[in-house]
Structure 1
Amino acid sequence: MRRGMLIVGAGLLLLAACGPKTPPPPTQEEALKIMPADARLAGLYETSCKACHAIADTGAPGVHDRAAWDKRWTQGEQVLLDRTIQGYNAMPAGGQCASCTPDDLKALIHFMAGREDSAK
């Protein structure tokens, strides 16, 4: 019985190792070029988000850095949105975007987290 459980456990570990891997974060050069496809969101990102989320070592999770965002994503989208609206740690309230609506901020969070497809 015990041996059977060990074999099943080992098999599950092997299957987990074959699962999808988190892609590596973009390089600094790539991060500076990544922009939302939507022109309006791209403008908001350029003026409000990019300075912290596309530059390494700011403390903000990098754009399309799934490893950094996945830790935060597990807290739930509403928590991320609330923290963006209210400010959190070094991030100013509203993400320093006076013209962003909550829907804009949600779309920008999805973009930066590499989750433009909300099913991810």
Structure 2
Amino acid sequence: MSKFKGALRFLPAALLLAACQSEPPPAKPLTPEESAALKPADARIAGLYDQACKSCHTVADTGAPLTGDRTQWDKRWAKGEEALLASAVQGLGGMPAGGQCFSCTPDDYKALIRFMAGRN
């Protein structure tokens, strides 16, 4: 019984930690400058992003959701990753099929989408 009582003293801290981890940070609009400053951690994905995505996803006037701006991405993210992948591959609105990423694999697109949507 003493082992059980000893474990109980850590319960409040564990519950607090779990609560902090389950709440995502609140979405806030980003400026194009803040968006342009973001970069994927993976060097290969960063190269693909710089080559194919950044020129539209960091400029407000293009109509593309700004990289990292969850206020613009959350409603898109709610459609599901597969729907976003399909949009990237097929094109959507002003975005051409494949988003001009001629060497992207489906996994590359997923990594790029997760990064731009602020989900990495």
Q: Which has the larger radius of gyration?
A: 2
Of 45, 48, 58, the residue aligned with 2:49 is: 45
Give the Å deviation of 1:21: 5.8
Equivalent residue, structure 1, for 2:26: 22
Contact kept in structure 1, 2:32 and 2:66, CA below 8 Å = no
Higher helix share: 2
Give the Å deviation of 1:22: 2.7
TM (norm. structure 2) is 0.76
Give deviations 1:80-118, integer Å, cap 9, x for gaps. 0001001111111111100000100000000000001xx
- Find runs of 4+ consecutive structure 1 residues off by over 4 angstroms: none
1: CA distance, partners of 2:105 / 2:24: 34
1: CA distance, partners of 2:77 / 2:96: 19
What is the count of residue pairs matched by the alignment?
98
Cα distance, 1:85–1:20 mapped onto 2, change above 3 Å:
closer
> Structure 2: which 5+ runs fail to align?
1-22
2: CA distance, partners of 1:31 / 1:66: 11
Taking only the aligned residue pairs, the percentage that are identical comes to 60
Give deviations 1:12-57, integer Å, cap 9, x for gaps. xxxxxxx766332222222111110100000000010001101112
TM (norm. structure 1) is 0.76
2: CA distance, partners of 1:36 / 1:114: 10
> What value does the CA root-mean-square deviation take over the aligned residues?
1.4
2: CA distance, partners of 1:23 / 1:67: 6
In the alignment, does 2:111 pair up with 1:112?
Answer: no
In the alignment, does 2:65 pair up with 1:65?
Answer: no
Equivalent residue, structure 1, for 2:4: none
